[in-house]
Amino acid sequence: MHLNEVNDVIRFFLVIAGELLVLFVGISFLVSLLQQLISQDTIHRVLGRVGRGWGNAIGALFGALTPFCSCSTIPILVGLLNGGVSFGTSMAFLLASPLLNPVILGLFWTIFGGKVTFMYAGFAFAVALIGSITWDQLGLARDVKKVKIMGGASSPSGDAGALSGVDGFPGKAKLAFRDSIGLFLQMAPYLLLGAGIGALIYGLVPEEWIVRLAGPGNRLAIPLAAVIGVPMYVRTETLIPISGVLLEKGMSLGATMALIIGGAGASIPEILLLGAIFRRRLVATFVITVLFSAMIAGYLFNWLV
C-alpha cells in the first residue's frame, strides 16, 4: 500500500465517520424526545382505534419512528398484538421498522443524497403498506401464536422505564439526550466498522472488480445481492456506509438497494425470533416478501435512476 493510498483511506474514514456519528446523535435525540412526549399507551390506543387501510398506514409510520433492532422490534410487535391492535397494522409496523427508521434515512441522505433517499423511503413505505394489507387479505392472522412478553419493551438504551416518569419538557429533553448518548455508545462501533470497511474498499479494492461482479452489466447482481443480504446479518448502520463505497466503485444502484433492503428487512436472528410468535407459513411469507421487495427495488432503481 502506497503512502497516498493510506492517506486516502484515513481521510475517507475520518470524514465519513465524523458525519455519521454527529448525524446519529442528532436524529436519535429527536426520536427519543418524541417518544417521551407520546406515551406507549397513547400509541396503542390510537393504533387500536383505526381500521384497515388507514391503520396499516399509521402502523407503517409508527415503525418509521422506531430506530430499534429486531430484538426490540419483536417485543413491541407482541405488545401491539396483545393490546388489541389489528393484524394488518401490526404487520405494517413489522415491515417498516427495520427499513424506514429516522437513523437509516439520515444515513441514506448523507451517503446517497436526497433523491435516492426519497425514492427509498417511498418504496419501503409501499412495501409495508401493500405487504401488510396482502397478508391480512390472505388470512395470515391465523398464523400468529398466542405469546406474552414479560416486563414490556424497552427503549434503545434500556431507559424507557426511567424516562416515562419524568414530567416537564426540560426533564424529558435532558433524559432524551441521555437516551440518545446511550444508543450512540451502543451503535458507534457498528458505524465505525462500516466507515472503516468502506474506507478500505475505497482505497484498496480495484474498481474493475466491483464493476465485473456487481455492475450494471451483471444481470444476476440484483437477485444475488438480495439473497446475500438476509443471512449476512450486518447492522444496517454498518452496511449503508459500505454500500455507498461499493456504489462509488461501480456497483449498480439496483444491486446496492437490493443488498440494503435484504440485509435490513430480514436477518437470521429476527427470523428466529419471529418463529417464536409466528407459524412457519407466516415466517416464510415474511422472508419471501423481503426478498422479492429487495429484488423489485433493485430493478426499479436501475430503471428510474
Question: Can you give the pLDDT of all 305 residues of the chain as single tens digits?
Answer: 556 656 666 776 777 677 667 766 776 676 666 666 656 566 656 665 655 667 788 888 888 876 555 556 777 787 778 777 889 888 998 999 888 877 788 878 888 889 999 999 999 999 999 999 999 999 999 999 876 544 444 444 444 444 445 566 677 778 777 877 776 777 677 667 766 776 666 566 655 665 666 667 777 888 888 888 776 656 677 778 778 878 887 888 888 898 888 888 877 767 877 888 899 999 999 999 999 999 999 999 988 87
Taking residue 231's Cβ as centre, other Cβ atoms within 10 Å add up to 12
* CA–CA separation, 203 and 182 (whole Å): 32
Q: Which of 299, 297, 262, 305 is nearest to 130 (CA)?
A: 297
pTM for this model (two decimals):
0.70
Q: Which of 181, 150, 179 is nearest to 36 (CA)?
A: 179
Q: Are 181 and 229 in contact (CB under 8 A)?
A: no
Residues paired with 278 in a beta bridge = 144
Taking residue 79's Cβ as centre, other Cβ atoms within 10 Å add up to 18
* CA–CA separation, 22 and 94 (whole Å): 28
Handedness of CA 180, 22, 71, 136 (dihedral sign): positive
Q: Are 226 and 260 in contact (CB under 8 A)?
A: no
SS3 144: strand
The number of helix segments (H) and strand segments (E) in the chain equals 15, 0
CB contact set of 55 (below 8 Å; sequence gap of 6+)? 47, 85, 86, 88, 89, 92
What amino acid occupies position 196? G
Place of cell 417498516: 96
